[in-house]
């Protein structure tokens, strides 16, 4: 083989190698795009409402703050009740527990959560629009002081763990969503028919 033929073959081999390299670089996987989306500012897990035939009930769940700043929920609305409020359970001067509207709303720390539970913080529904039975679904919207909003649907469940023991001759049973507390701190609903 002559030197000229050898050089030609080497040139062809080099060109083929470069061409293959160029092809393979076109098939290289693209850099992984960031698929992580930012956490929502507010989210809720396992929302539920205690079944009730009339009067009052309450909604529960765990609200999470996925943002980097504290968020204060100030209002709640739902078509299930014209009087939905954020409630807390506190000790009254006589040592009993009572529920009342949470002044200033619920503040959830940055990256933290707030549990809404029977006998503790909860969403109070008064003057129920109708009877709610297990399996029904109720939409809610929470709004925060900074404009953040959270819409969710809670499923109605039977719950036997929050039976009320009312004072004899006392409550009419409208507080069936609560468990064993003194309801003297509630803003009492009017007895006139809802308009």
Cβ–Cβ contacts within 10 Å for residue 166, how many?
Answer: 14
Task: Map residue 25 onto helix, strand or coil.
Answer: helix
* Band (116; pLDDT cuts 50, 70, 90): very high
Report whether pLDDT(83) > 90. Answer: yes
Report whether pLDDT(183) > 60. Answer: no
Residue from 106, 99, 143 nearest 124 by CA: 99
Using the 8-state DSSP alphabet, how is residue 111 labeled? T
> Which is more confidently placed, 109 or 186?
109
Tens digits of residue pLDDT in 137-155: 999 999 999 999 999 999 9
> Which is more confidently placed, 73 or 20?
73
Residue from 141, 152, 145 nearest 76 by CA: 141
């Amino acid at each position: 083989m002559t030197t000229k033929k050898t050089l030609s073959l080497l040139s062809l081999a080099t060109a083929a190698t470069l061409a293959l390299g160029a092809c393979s670089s076109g098939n290289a996987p693209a850099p992984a795009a960031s698929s992580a989306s930012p956490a929502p500012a507010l989210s809720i897990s396992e929302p539920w409402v205690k079944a009730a035939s009339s009067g009052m009930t309450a909604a529960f769940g765990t609200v999470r703050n996925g943002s980097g700043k504290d968020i204060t929920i100030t209002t709640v609305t739902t078509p299930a009740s014209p009087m939905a409020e954020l409630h807390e359970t506190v000790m009254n001067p006589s040592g009993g527990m009572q529920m009342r509207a949470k002044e200033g709303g619920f503040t959830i720390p940055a990256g933290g959560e707030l549990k809404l539970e029977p006998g503790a913080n909860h969403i109070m529904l008064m003057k129920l629009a109708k009877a709610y039975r297990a399996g029904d679904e109720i939409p809610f919207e929470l709004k925060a002081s900074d404009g953040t909003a959270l819409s969710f649907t809670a499923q109605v469940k039977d719950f036997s763990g929050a039976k009320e023991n009312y004072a004899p001759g006392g409550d009419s049973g409208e507080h069936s969503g609560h468990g064993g507390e003194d309801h003297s701190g509630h803003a009492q609903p009017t007895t006139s028919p809802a308009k």
